Amino acid sequence: MNAINGAVTSLFNLLLTPLEAVSKVFALIVVSGVFGVLALVVFKHISSQKGIKAAKDKIKGHMIEIRLYQDDLALVGKAIVKVLLRNLQYVALNFGPFIPLMIPFGLVAAQMVVRYGYKPVPVTEQPAALLAGEGITLKIELDAAHKREASDLKVSLPEGVQALSPLVRVPAEGLAYQELVATADGAYDLSIEAGGEKVVKTLYAGNETPRYFQPERTASPLMAILWPAEKTLSAPFKRISLGGLTQTEAYVPAKLGWLPGEGPMAVLLWFVVFSMIFGFAALKPLGVEI
């Protein structure tokens, strides 16, 4: 999964650079539109276009049958059953080909989220003035086979990041927590060591402007599709995340220029919306039955 994410990330770095020179919203719209059209082309070649057209024609025929024989309840009842069955066939013919398209959808959507969904965490100039829970929560989860190694887990914070609490270890659950804040602008690698293995979780703060923001690292190849900016973890680590008091992720939801909404859900929403708009616009020119 790391190789795939690395290749996709490098490709998007290349493609998005000229688009982002205009604006991030422009880049999001263009990528969404291109994906919508390409997905439609793929759908055309992996779906049964003749079957879809035939199912639609038969549904129309049964609807006409209901209209013509509306005084004959027996015929109308049979026609309604036929419409329902043909609708199921139509849905199956359309839904099946969308399953393989979910993987490229996830890869592209994830790139949009980590690039445009977040802003850096704010800098805290007076950490002593914060109440418990108002900082960033670093959460470390070990896999089931290495839970007890949480008792020896260590976290090393670089200059510019300050701990607000001691490191709390829960060996019975394979968990460890620490509350911290950034005291200066920068990109910081939080070093975590357990079971003889050392990994880092990157934290961006203040006016730092990286290309990607990733609130968590995971060992799951499936979840890695959603978080492509950092490599997957290996044993004993299962998941490392940065969370906040009022939100799941520590990073601040980013505003999407003139588009309504902010944060990763807004990015996903607009990605889907613009993909559908461009896709529907291309239906007739591409001659796609859907």
Return the domain boundaries, the chain.
Answer: 2-117+261-286, 127-253
Rounded to whole angstroms, how far apart are CA atoms 274 and 95?
20
Q: What is the pLDDT of residues 146-186, one digit of tens each?
A: 999 999 999 999 999 999 999 999 999 999 999 999 999 99
Average pLDDT in the 19-32 region? 95
What does each C-alpha distance from 101 to 119, 170, 209, 249 come to in angstroms? 29, 41, 32, 28
Q: What is the pLDDT of residue 274?
A: 96
Average pLDDT in the 104-127 region? 91
Contacts of 8 (CB under 8 A, 6+ apart): 107, 108, 111, 228
Q: What is the pLDDT of residue 246?
A: 56
Hey, what are 111's tokens? 């790139």
The maximal CA–CA distance of the chain, rounded, in angstroms, is: 83
Question: Could you tell me if residue 191 is left (phi over 0), alpha (psi between -120 and 50 degrees) or otherwise beta?
Answer: beta
Q: What is the pLDDT of residue 129?
A: 67
Q: What is the pLDDT of residue 247?
A: 60
Please, what's the b/e burial string for 138-164 (b: 16 or more CB within 10 A of its CB; e: otherwise)?
bebbbbeebbebbeebebebeebbbeb
Distance of CA 53 to the CA centre of its chain: 33
Rounded to whole angstroms, how far apart are CA atoms 165 and 131?
11
Q: What is the pLDDT of residue 245?
A: 57
Burial class (CB in 10 A: 0-12, 13-18, 19+), 209: exposed
Query: Per-residue pLDDT for 1 more than 60?
Result: yes
pLDDT band at 48 (very low <50, low <70, confident <90, very high): confident
In a 13 Å sphere around the CA of 263, the CA atoms on its Cβ side amount to 9
pLDDT band at 52 (very low <50, low <70, confident <90, very high): confident
Element (H, E) at 272: helix 263-281
The percentage of the chain sitting over the pLDDT mark of 90, rounded to a whole number, equals 56
Poorest-pLDDT segment among 100-109, 125-134, 163-172? 125-134
Q: What is the pLDDT of residues 226-270, one digit of tens each?
A: 899 899 999 999 999 998 755 667 888 899 889 999 999 999 999
Average pLDDT along the chain = 89
Q: What is the pLDDT of residue 225?
A: 87
Q: Which CATH number fits domain 127-253: 3.40.50, 1.10.620, 1.10.10, 2.60.40?
A: 2.60.40
Helix residue spans in 69-175 (DSSP H): 73-116
Query: Do the beta carbons of residue 87 and residue 62 sit within 8 Å?
Result: no
